[in-house]
Amino acid sequence: MIRPLFIPPGARRAAAARALPVLALCSLAALGCSGKKRKAAPPAEPPPTAIDTLVVHKVAADVSKPDPAAAYWQGLAEGEIVMTAQPMVAPRPDVATTEKVFVKAVTDGKLAAFRIRWRDPERSMAGRLGEFSDALALEFPVKTDPLPPVMMGAAGAPVHIFHWRAQYQRDHEEGKPTIATLYPNASIDMYPMEFKDQPGAHEAGREQFSPGAAVGNPQSYAKGGVDEIIAEGYSTSSVQAGSEGHAAHGDWANGEWTLVIVRPLATEGGSNLAPGQRAFIAFAAWQGGKLEVGSRKCVTMAWLPVSVQ
Amino acid sequence: MPKVNNWHLRRAVEYPYDEHRPTKQWAIVFDLNKCIACQTCTLACKTTWTSGKGQEYMFWNNVESKPYGGYPLAWDLRVLEKLGRQDWSANGEYQGKTLIESAPPNERVLHYAPVDEDWMYPNVGEDDCAGGVAGGSHIPTTPHEQAWMFYLPRTCAHCTYPACLAACPRKAIYKREEDGIVLIDQSRCKGYGECVRACPYKKSMYNTYTRTSEKCIGCYPAVEQGIQPQCVVNCIGKIRVMGFINPPAKARADNPIDFLVHKKQIALPYYPQLGLEPNIYYIPPIHADREYLHQMFGPQVDGAIERYRDLERDPVAAGLLCLMGSTDRIMHRFKVERGKAIGYDDKGAELVQVPVTEPVIERAAFDAKLGAIRNNTP
């Protein structure tokens, strides 16, 4: 890549202004680490182990709130899952950016919670132009006999996906960012229909100037943290309406995400998990800092059996 | 990968989908010798289509100064740098590789991904001249070897083989059968931005508010009613004409676009070597550096400039240039006879009639009847 021939002075200032809050955050984080008082050491965690089945442990606790630090995770061994750069369709990553994810799973009898941990050196939430979000997806087969292709399913053999993005989490927890929050120095005169702040004016009148929103594309609305998706092959994923019973929250620290995705055990028209029943799972991860999005992702190459207690 | 016929390059090229030309193909011809970069086209487009949230930075139509201007920053240099040196054969066949043919194994198109700062300076390099102009100097001949610049107005080229369409993993981009306009389905787009990376002309743009990618829609609601796009009808320099282009074998001499591109061969595609068969065509500037023009318009540029210089001896071509900007309607046919140029719609009805040479009327400086001095202010 060649550099622009000429960078106007304003561009440098803009870049510097962007860098400052990042520096401030870094120093705060450093203070937080060094200034923290040492607590009593938590019980030693069993080391991650390679697994051939993901056990969803029954716990006597409400798991509806996605909490990576909840007590019920303690003492459970992490399953180590090997990932590879998505191998089937271009565009794809040249190398596996996310080589492994580490997984624990619990259920309270109604919901299942999956705790996934993976290395990602850069926390990316997307928002501005040319930026992409860190993301992780859990995939389940809708029918298990026969199993659909693990790569996005096939026509008549759907897969059920819970797709979390750091960007969607920010939507859920802080509200959908506006241009003013993404670009604090942006100067905007007025948007169409802004003058219609009178009785009888409605948001839909304004949204007609935002094509994606005007046609009801789910991508254009604030997200609930995790998208529920049904897919029947490449290019077919479609976001399902409603978000009953599923939730997600991830924390990023020290170059690592720890994320919890909660889903109902039983769904209508989607995948089902139940004690004693055949069930499977697969994983995908995206590193926004490496411009990964869509098919630019790392994936597991086969269905991993799931055993619900 | 299928091979498709690209007449710009006079050879078959690789493309992920089979060749399928639409019934009609939207096209614009721009006369770069007349553009003054007033940006009326840019604002006509902006106020019509991109005044909403997330579209603040978008210019589906822009005018940049060449060689130094570029929106986004240095888009052409960065794409050409990626592609590397490529060559044309003496007979006008392209010997090099296109963006799709030179895509790395894990990609669909050779591309670069612009970041937000690249979009922030739409006027960078405006009016900057290649080379220095010493005080008091003048430039007596063309082409100007030392000091030159020209304005390049750009819209989406609604390519015959769009890179954006080839790159979209969701197949959310489609080319319309009725007019060849390339659109992003706003209900299917997931904002992966693959089209933004892939389009070498950088005419797909990401909307941070709707989280979908958007692009020039060729003013299809107007085109469907037989009206030319906003950037064309608002051009005060009358440098543009929009119509429908045929491939060379089906070219009609009375079709304005076919006449300029195929018959007269004075309008050329820009950066044809990228391999997408773009459908905006330029009459190259006669004064600019030839090596630069070769790079931008290919080996036909010398002949095009020669024929353009000779237009005064061709009343039909001169008449057609007079028709540019003379009607809002889409001209499907034109005719020049008895000093008049006439444009017709698709049903053969006359749209407009203009004199090829404006009549000259000489009047006395003093109007004796009114007792007033005449001046030239209309």
pLDDT value at position A9?
38
Q: Does any CB of chain A come closer than 8 Å to the CB of residue B171?
A: yes
**Domain range annotation of chain A:** 45-175+226-308, 177-184+193-221
CATH number of this structure's domain A45-175+226-308, picked from the four choices 2.60.40.1190, 3.40.50.720, 2.60.120.380, 3.20.20.70: 2.60.40.1190
CA atoms of B334 and B278, how far apart (whole Å)? 24
Asked whether the beta carbons of residue B210 and residue A212 sit closer than 8 angstroms, the reply is yes
Task: Kindly list the residues from chain A whose CB atom is less than 8 angstroms away from the CB atom of residue B187.
Answer: 212, 215-217
Return the residue in A3, A94, A129 with the most chain B beta carbons within 10 A, the one to mutate for interface testing. A129
Return the residue in A217, A236, A238 with the most chain B beta carbons within 10 A, the one to mutate for interface testing. A217
What does the pLDDT look like over B27-37, one tens digit per residue?
999 999 999 99
Q: How far is A115 from chain B (nearest CA, A)?
A: 26
pLDDT value at position A8?
37
**Domain range annotation of chain B:** 3-128+147-306
How many CB atoms are located within 10 Å of the residue B85 CB?
A: 6
pLDDT value at position B304?
98
Q: How far is B92 from chain A (nearest CA, A)?
A: 29
pLDDT value at position B60?
98
Task: Kindly list the residues from chain A whose CB atom is less than 8 angstroms away from the CB atom of residue B212.
Answer: 211-212, 217, 219-220
pLDDT value at position B126?
94
Calculate the CA A48 to chain-centre distance: 22
Helix axes B301-309, B290-297, angle to 10 degrees: 110
pLDDT tens per residue across all 309 residues of chain A: 333 333 333 344 444 444 434 333 334 334 334 444 555 666 678 889 999 999 999 999 999 999 999 999 999 999 999 999 999 999 999 999 999 999 999 999 999 999 999 999 999 999 999 999 999 999 999 999 999 999 999 999 999 999 999 999 999 999 999 888 999 998 888 888 776 666 777 777 778 889 999 999 999 999 989 999 999 999 899 998 876 678 999 999 999 999 999 999 999 999 999 999 999 999 999 999 999 999 999 999 999 999 999
User: CATH fold of B3-128+147-306, please?
Assistant: Alpha-Beta Plaits (3.30.70)
* A224-263 CB burial, b ≥16 within 10 A, e <16: bbbbbbbbbbbbbbebeeeeeebbbbbebeeeebbbbbbb
Selecting from A11, A191, A293 the residue whose C-beta is nearest the C-beta of B192 gives A293
SS3 content of chain A, % helix, strand, coil (to 5): 20, 30, 55
B210 to chain A: nearest residue by CA? Answer: A220
Q: Does any CB of chain A come closer than 8 Å to the CB of residue B121?
A: yes
Instruction: Reply yes or no: is the peptide bond before residue A87 cis, omega within 30 of 0.
Output: no
**CA distance from start to end of chain A:** 53
pLDDT value at position A31?
39
Burial class (CB in 10 A: 0-12, 13-18, 19+), A46: exposed
What does the pLDDT look like over B245-278, one tens digit per residue?
999 999 999 999 999 999 999 999 999 999 999 9
Nearest to B118 by CA among B59, B177, B158, B159: B59
Return the residue in B83, B106, B129, B165 with the most chain A beta carbons within 10 A, the one to mutate for interface testing. B106
pLDDT value at position A198?
66
Instruction: Reply yes or no: is the peptide bond before residue B67 cis, omega within 30 of 0.
Output: yes
pLDDT value at position B326?
97
CA atoms of B219 and A200, how far apart (whole Å)? 31
pLDDT value at position A44?
72
**Maximum CA extent, chain A:** 66
What does the pLDDT look like over B307-347, one tens digit per residue?
999 998 999 999 999 999 999 999 999 999 999 999 999 99
Asked whether the beta carbons of residue A211 and residue B210 sit closer than 8 angstroms, the reply is yes
Task: Kindly list the residues from chain B whose CB atom is less than 8 angstroms away from the CB atom of residue A94.
Answer: 104, 106
Q: How far is A298 from chain B (nearest CA, A)?
A: 13
Reading the block at residue A33, the tokens are: 């680490």
**CA distance from start to end of chain B:** 61
SS3 content of chain B, % helix, strand, coil (to 5): 20, 20, 60
Nearest to B154 by CA among B194, B227, B203, B198: B203
Asked whether the beta carbons of residue A235 and residue B169 sit closer than 8 angstroms, the reply is yes
Residue B250 DSSP code: G
pLDDT value at position B150?
96
Reading the block at residue A59, the tokens are: 């716990």
pLDDT value at position A28?
38
The ipTM assigned to this model is: 0.89
pLDDT value at position B9?
98
Q: How far is A106 from chain B (nearest CA, A)?
A: 32
Reading the block at residue A32, the tokens are: 């937080």
The H or E element containing residue A118 is: strand A111-119
Query: How confident is the prediction for chain B on average, in pLDDT?
Result: 95
Task: Kindly list the residues from chain A whose CB atom is less than 8 angstroms away from the CB atom of residue B115.
Answer: 129-131
pTM of the model: 0.90
How many CB atoms are located within 10 Å of the residue A202 CB?
A: 9
What residues of chain B, 277 to 336, have a C-beta less than 8 Å from chain A? none
Confidence of residue B358 (pLDDT cuts 50, 70, 90): confident
